[in-house]
């Protein structure tokens, strides 16, 4: 005989936890060091797979490489993304691996040395790969044991990297790909207080040099540091909503060893709403906007993502 109260509780818990994979993948084509991602370190049943498809629209400042030597950027992008994630048992810790590939249509203008530039292009962006692990407070659990899990304090870490295989033309200043690798380690904490979850994450993004920059130059960039925080409210249906904010600084660049005055100190705020629509499907809506930007790379972003999950006993 089925205990429907246990079944319903297990389903709600799974849906709430599973929605976390949407956040980073849905916005993969937007400014990568400026992402706002709630529930990054929430626990998920081991062995569950996620297929994610999303769309994001950005308008305003540069959404790909904020260290470009241009001013007054007015760019629009329409990006689709396809991603996959899987929850894992990593040597007795819960974790996940995810990968995504964006495809973007970009158009707009910017000024370079006082002269206006126009750009219209479409193509694949740089793929992203990330491995996350919960170091404390989120044991690896199978689905049958997951309904009894209650979050308290979680401490997690992650390492994300980009693969420089996106669309790139060294005769153009504005591109979809960046023609360089980046590596982004992060450390975060997540604390449940009743129906609320309070989160904070710190990260640093390290870049390799672009040795085929515009005009045959070499461009290097210092690490870009960021802090983000989230106030998340969970509902009994498995739906959750979040208010999000991030601050990032650093990232000064040099071209052929000559320093540029482009240190970043920027704020962004946003909101997220995640809604389960079946035992396997869920939808997420997200929006964010720049509050202040020292380097002029402030932009608005709006998006939606759909997620399908299977495996792990679902």
Q: Could you give the angle at the alpha carbon of 273 between the alpha carbons of 44 and 27, nearest 5°?
A: 80
Assess whether pLDDT exceeds 80 at residue 24: no
Cα dihedral 127, 92, 206, 61 sign: positive
Distance, CA of 23 to CA of 20 (rounded, Å): 6
3-class state of residue 12 by DSSP: helix
Distance, CA of 262 to CA of 314 (rounded, Å): 49
Tokens linked to 137:
């407070």
Cα dihedral 133, 135, 138, 139 sign: positive
Confidence of residue 20 (pLDDT cuts 50, 70, 90): very low
Distance, CA of 157 to CA of 87 (rounded, Å): 14
Judged on CB neighbours under 10 Å (0-12, 13-18, 19+), 264 is buried
- Calculate the CA 313 to chain-centre distance: 27
Distance, CA of 244 to CA of 288 (rounded, Å): 8
Judged by average pLDDT, the poorest of 1-15, 34-48, 120-134 is: 1-15
Task: Check residue 294 and give its pLDDT.
Answer: 61
Helices and strands, counts by H and E, the chain: 3, 17
The DSSP secondary-structure symbol of 119 reads E
3-class state of residue 67 by DSSP: coil
Average pLDDT over residues 183-202: 96
Task: Check residue 275 and give its pLDDT.
Answer: 95
Say which CATH topology domain 4-310 has. Porin (2.40.160)
Listed residue (72, 58, 73) closest to 125, CA to CA: 58
Q: What is the DSSP string of 219-260?
A: EEE--EEEEEEEEEEE-TTS-EEEEEEEEEEE--EEETTEE-
Q: Containing H/E element for 80?
A: strand 71-90
Average pLDDT over residues 39-56: 93
Domain extents in the chain? 4-310
Task: Check residue 75 and give its pLDDT.
Answer: 84
How many CB atoms are closer than 10 A to CB 257?
A: 7
Match 């929605």 to its residue by tokens: 19
Confidence of residue 238 (pLDDT cuts 50, 70, 90): confident
- Calculate the CA 23 to chain-centre distance: 6
Tokens linked to 232:
């998340």
278 phi, psi to nearest 5 deg: -165, 180
Assess whether pLDDT exceeds 70 at residue 38: yes
Confidence of residue 21 (pLDDT cuts 50, 70, 90): very low
């Amino acid at each position: 005989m089925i205990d429907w109260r246990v079944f319903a509780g297990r389903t709600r818990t799974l849906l709430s936890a599973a929605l976390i994979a949407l956040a980073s993948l849905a916005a993969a084509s937007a400014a990568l060091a400026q992402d706002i991602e709630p529930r990054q370190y929430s626990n998920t049943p081991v062995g569950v797979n996620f297929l994610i498809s999303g769309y994001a629209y950005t308008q305003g400042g540069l959404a790909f490489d904020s260290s470009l030597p241009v001013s007054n950027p007015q760019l629009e992008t329409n990006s689709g993304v396809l991603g996959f994630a899987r929850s894992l048992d990593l040597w007795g810790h819960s974790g996940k691996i995810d990968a995504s590939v964006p495809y973007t249509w970009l158009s707009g203008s910017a000024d370079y040395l006082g002269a206006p530039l126009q750009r219209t292009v479409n193509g694949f962006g740089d793929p992203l790969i990330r491995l996350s692990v919960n170091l404390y407070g989120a044991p690896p659990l199978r689905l049958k044991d997951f309904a009894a899990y209650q979050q308290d304090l979680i401490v997690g870490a992650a390492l994300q990297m980009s693969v420089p295989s996106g669309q790139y033309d060294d005769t153009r200043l504005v591109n979809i790909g960046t023609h360089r690798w980046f590596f982004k380690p992060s450390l975060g904490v997540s604390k449940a207080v009743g129906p609320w979850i309070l989160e904070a994450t710190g990260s640093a993004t390290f870049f390799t040099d672009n040795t085929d920059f515009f005009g045959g130059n070499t461009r290097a960039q210092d690490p870009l540091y960021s802090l983000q925080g989230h106030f998340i409210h969970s509902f009994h249906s498995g739906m959750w909503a979040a208010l999000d904010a991030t601050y990032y600084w650093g990232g000064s660049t040099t071209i052929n060893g000559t320093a540029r005055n482009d240190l970043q100190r920027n704020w962004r705020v946003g909101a997220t709403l995640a809604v389960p629509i079946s035992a396997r499907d869920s939808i997420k809506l997200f929006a964010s906007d720049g509050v202040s930007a020292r380097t002029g790379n402030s932009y608005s972003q709006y998006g939606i993502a759909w997620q399908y999950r299977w495996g792990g006993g679902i």
